[in-house]
Amino acid sequence: MKIVCEKEKLLKGINSVVKAVANKTTMPILEGILIQTNDNEIKLTTYDLEIGIEYVMNCTIQEQGSAVVNATMFSEIIRKLPDTDILIYMNENNLLVIECEGSLYKLATMNPDEFPELPKIEVEYSIKLEQNILKNMIRKTIFAVSTEENRPIFTGCLFEIIDNKLNVVSVDGFRLALKSNFINTKVNDFKAVIPGKTLNEVNKIMTDSYDTIVIGVAKNQALFEMENCKIVTRILDGEFLNYNNVIPENWDTRIRVNKNNFQNCFERISLISASSSEKEKKYPVKVTIDIGKVTISCTNQTGDAKEEIYVATEGKNLEIGFNPKYFLDALKVIDDEEIYVDFGTSISPAVIRPVDDGEYTYMILPIKLKD
């Protein structure tokens, strides 16, 4: 193998694939990047046995071949080289040689034949959307993915097509986030639960652009395809929550509030709420709704806090307890100026919806207030 490649171009490829490099593995080859030539292209591959990433790019090939090299070392060296052409080749001692101006690096390599093959995927369903749209959908839901491994299905986001609409849903037992988007081309209904970890990496690789991404779903795997880059992931097995049944359709109390003001109140109050000792982590804040006013308050051993905010209210007065973190998580990702918050009784979930975005729904379970 012998190639010549522009530094910035190569670095872009490396930055995309390093996200699937295994760390803390007993198989050193998974800490490597597989470099393969193919005519006038090279392909970079990484695979931690859960997520696999391939990146293809043009470059000058002087000799076909392949190599596996430690990903961290390779990427750090390339990153620090001057912004010019880099010559990379295997020498007679099986070392990967990197030459650029006055710099000469020789790195130990591993056997490319031992690099595990990415699963072959026979796509059954696929949808195409703009990267900025998928990025936004992931950002608005991923934080509510469960971190508890005892119910693995909820460590992923449900991707569901119904009536040509993509719904992305996450739920962790305390709250649920749902973001929807119509797909412009005709697609068949399907469901797949994609691991949260994969979506985090996909999100980092996508740009906030109109460039498209194709999501392909097979029996046990899914595929995200961008221009140069392909991400393969397993999908999670099991029955996801039938979320439509749990989101309340009606409300007894509704407030309409400026999102930023509401967020600031919760940020301040959570300083007091969070300052209670670790054991009392779920010490709630009390939300009190009177006509035209919401009061958020919290008392614990370090102090006492009260926030009053004037809002439009409809329906009954109410007193209800919440973990302020769960409010904040959603408020932070909402870009709209105004939101509705709908409540039932003091033991039923509250629902946040942006006033001007019917495609986002966030539901939070209340916490019982101490008497």
Binding interface with its own copies (CB under 8 A): 70, 73, 76-77, 80-82, 95, 102-108, 264-265, 267-268, 271-272, 275, 301-310
Determine how many CB atoms are found less than 10 A away from the CB of residue 270: 19
Give the integer Cα–Cα distance in Å for 296 and 304: 11
Nearest approach in angstroms of CB 72 to its own copies is 9
The C-alpha atoms of residue 354 and residue 245 are separated, in whole angstroms, by 21
The distance of closest approach from Cβ of residue 93 to its own copies in the complex, given in angstroms and rounded to an integer, is 10
Strand partners, 89: 2, 97
Q: What sign for the dihedral angle of Cα 164, 139, 243, 148?
A: positive
161 or 341: CB nearest its own copies = 341
* Closest CB to its own copies among residues 237, 308: 308
Min dist. Cβ of residue 350 to its own copies (A): 20
| Closer by beta carbon to its own copies, 32 or else 156 | 32
Structure tokens at 310: 């004037």
Q: Which lies closer to its own copies via its Cβ, residue 187 or residue 311?
A: 311
Of the two residues 103 and 188, which places its CB atom closer to its own copies in the complex? Answer: 103
Distances (CA, A) of 193 to 39, 41, 152, 236: 37, 33, 10, 5
Q: Which of 95, 187 has the CB closer to its own copies?
A: 95
CA–CA separation, 84 and 12 (whole Å): 14
Least Cβ distance, residue 82 to its own copies (angstroms): 7
Smallest separation, CB 70 to its own copies (Å): 7
Smallest separation, CB 172 to its own copies (Å): 26
Alpha carbon dihedral 62, 64, 66, 67, in 10-degree steps, equals -20
Single-letter code of the amino acid located at 316? K
Question: Any idea of the CA torsion for 184, 210, 75, 37, to the nearest 10 degrees?
Answer: 60
